């Protein structure tokens, strides 16, 4: 198969292209001047020339591929009848609310079953489910290299590590809203506080906690720019804003408690506010530094972005694929794919996460065996070469 790959400097692009080539596909990349999601003459002209390229009487390329979904790419593909394959690793990913998502040339995959079901219920039948993937060959070689550097022994650099965004910046939209009625804000804040204590259940879709009336009231005070290009469910956007706020709170609070008890480090984006007792080591490069961090940390934490309602976050797969040990908040699909205490460790509350961290810091052999089995399962079930044949089946 000949694949035209839209390369936008996404962090996992080279891993995916490598797997495509190992599967026997020809992969050619195209870069576009993408400012927004409109079809510009430059974008259409570039893609048209590639789409109309032929070998004999047959079209040269079989499909256009991208990580994440781009409405303008779909529009051009639809015009020239080129299959468009999109594998979405962001959640939320609001470009899926574009009317273009229903174009019949689309083959869109999302990693969250609940999101897939939601989009299908809206009549968008071009969206299917697939978990995310890893490059098992690159990571296996890297682990062998790291082990050979230390005579087969893992030299740990950190006891407890969290690698991820704290979102305590301009993307924390809830804290930018200063004009909610006091009673409404007090109630919403109570729900946010309660949600921080519960893993695996979303209070913002639970009518016992947040009713449609609550969301309607919030929409009176939080306005959105409506361009008409998207069929946005603004009630869902409101819920995601509240979920983001929960994520901001619980990541800081969990790390604060970790820092009080353990040697704890954080790898995150610039501008994050300091957390007492936690050493901020800045950004870790996805290809070179991140796998080393995961393998050489005794315990890697996964605190899932709350807008991921059921899916397995890529962070979990990346940790396990690097041979790292992970303690994660409970998530439905994590429980479907992995065995707690055998492939990884799941926590049901923040306090449970802290207690299990203390336990596994004292039990090296048990922890290392779980990491070994977890890596083996990820390589068997989540390698790009296992998942791409279905993704590319157009």
For 191-200, write each residue's pLDDT tens digit. 999 999 999 9
Identify whether residues 178 and 122 lie together within a single domain. Answer: no
Residue at 389 is within a domain: no
Identify whether residues 84 and 157 lie together within a single domain. Answer: no
Residue 177: pLDDT above 90?
no
pLDDT for the residue 230: 75
Identify whether residues 174 and 266 lie together within a single domain. Answer: yes
Identify whether residues 169 and 85 lie together within a single domain. Answer: no
Q: Domain containing 371: what range?
A: 136-384
Identify whether residues 212 and 170 lie together within a single domain. Answer: yes
Residue at 196 is within a domain: yes
Span 103-118, average pLDDT? 97
pLDDT for the residue 136: 97
Span 309-325, average pLDDT? 97
Identify whether residues 270 and 340 lie together within a single domain. Answer: yes
Residue at 393 is within a domain: no
Identify whether residues 284 and 211 lie together within a single domain. Answer: yes
User: 67, 99, 130: which is the final residue of a domain?
Assistant: 130
Answer whether 62's CB lies under 8 Å from 2's CB: yes
Residue at 394 is within a domain: no
Residue at 237 is within a domain: yes
* CATH number of 183's domain: 3.40.50.2000
Q: Per-residue confidence at 154, pLDDT binned at 50, 70, 90?
A: confident
Using a 10 angstrom Cβ sphere, with 0-12 exposed, 13-18 middle and 19 or more buried, the burial of residue 196 is: buried
Residue at 174 is within a domain: yes
Q: Which of 86-90, 231-235, 299-303, 372-376 has the lowest mean pLDDT?
A: 231-235
Q: Per-residue confidence at 221, pLDDT binned at 50, 70, 90?
A: confident
Distance CA 394, CA 390 (A): 9
Identify whether residues 111 and 226 lie together within a single domain. Answer: no
Q: Per-residue confidence at 222, pLDDT binned at 50, 70, 90?
A: confident
User: 130, 152, 172: which is the final residue of a domain?
Assistant: 130
* CATH number of 39's domain: 3.40.50
Identify whether residues 378 and 328 lie together within a single domain. Answer: yes
Using a 10 angstrom Cβ sphere, with 0-12 exposed, 13-18 middle and 19 or more buried, the burial of residue 76 is: buried
pLDDT for the residue 228: 67
Domain count across the chain: 2
User: pLDDT tens digits for 51-95?
Assistant: 999 999 999 999 999 999 999 999 999 999 999 999 999 999 999
pLDDT for the residue 152: 63
pLDDT for the residue 41: 94
User: pLDDT tens digits for 20-58?
Assistant: 999 999 999 999 999 888 999 999 999 999 999 999 999
Distance CA 225, CA 228 (A): 9
Distance CA 217, CA 181 (A): 9
> Who has greater pLDDT, 386 or 179?
386
Identify whether residues 228 and 371 lie together within a single domain. Answer: yes
Identify whether residues 90 and 220 lie together within a single domain. Answer: no
Identify whether residues 185 and 294 lie together within a single domain. Answer: yes
CA 238 to chain centroid, in Å, comes to 20
Residue at 244 is within a domain: yes
pLDDT for the residue 245: 96
Mean pLDDT for all residues in the chain: 95
User: 108, 130, 152: which is the final residue of a domain?
Assistant: 130
Backbone angles phi, psi at 136, to 5 degrees: -70, -30
Span 277-295, average pLDDT? 95
Residue at 348 is within a domain: yes
Distance CA 63, CA 65 (A): 6
């Amino acid at each position: 198969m000949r694949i035209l790959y839209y390369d936008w400097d996404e962090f996992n692009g080279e891993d995916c292209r490598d797997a495509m080539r190992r599967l026997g596909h020809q992969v050619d990349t195209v870069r576009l001047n993408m400012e927004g999601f409109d079809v510009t003459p430059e974008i259409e002209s570039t893609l048209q020339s590639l789409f109309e390229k032929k070998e004999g009487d047959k079209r040269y390329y079989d499909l256009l591929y991208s990580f994440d979904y781009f409405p303008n790419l779909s529009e051009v593909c639809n015009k020239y009848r080129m299959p468009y394959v999109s594998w979405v690793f962001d959640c939320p990913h609001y470009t899926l609310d574009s009317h273009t998502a229903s174009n019949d040339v689309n083959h869109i995959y999302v990693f969250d079953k609940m999101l897939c079901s939601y989009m299908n219920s809206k009549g968008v039948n071009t969206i299917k489910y697939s978990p995310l993937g890893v490059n098992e060959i690159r990571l296996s070689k890297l682990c062998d290299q790291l082990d050979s550097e230390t005579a087969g022994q893992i030299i740990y650099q950190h006891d407890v590590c969290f690698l991820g965004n704290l979102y305590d910046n301009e993307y924390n939209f809830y804290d930018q809203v200063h004009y909610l009625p006091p009673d409404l804000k007090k109630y919403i804040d109570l729900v946010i506080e309660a949600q921080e204590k519960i893993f695996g259940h979303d209070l913002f879709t639970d009518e016992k906690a947040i009713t449609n009336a609550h969301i309607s009231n919030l929409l009176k005070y939080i306005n959105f720019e409506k361009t008409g290009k998207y069929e946005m469910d603004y009630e869902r956007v409101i819920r995601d804003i509240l979920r983001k706020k929960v994520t901001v709170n619980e990541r800081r609070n969990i790390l604060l408690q970790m820092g009080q008890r353990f040697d704890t480090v954080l790898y995150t984006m610039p501008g994050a506010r300091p957390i007492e007792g936690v050493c901020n080591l800045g950004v870790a490069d996805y290809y070179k530094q991140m796998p080393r961090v995961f393998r050489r940390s005794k315990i890697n934490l996964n605190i899932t972005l709350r807008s991921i309602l059921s899916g397995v976050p890529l962070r979990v797969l990346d940790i396990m694929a690097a041979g790292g040990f992970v303690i994660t908040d409970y998530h439905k699909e994590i429980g479907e794919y992995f065995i707690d205490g055998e492939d990884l460790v799941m926590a049901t509350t923040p306090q449970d996460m802290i207690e299990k961290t203390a336990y596994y810091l004292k039990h090296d052999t048990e922890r290392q065996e779980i990491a070994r089995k977890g890596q083996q399962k990820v390589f068997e079930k989540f390698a790009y070469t296992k998942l791409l044949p279905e993704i590319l089946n157009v």
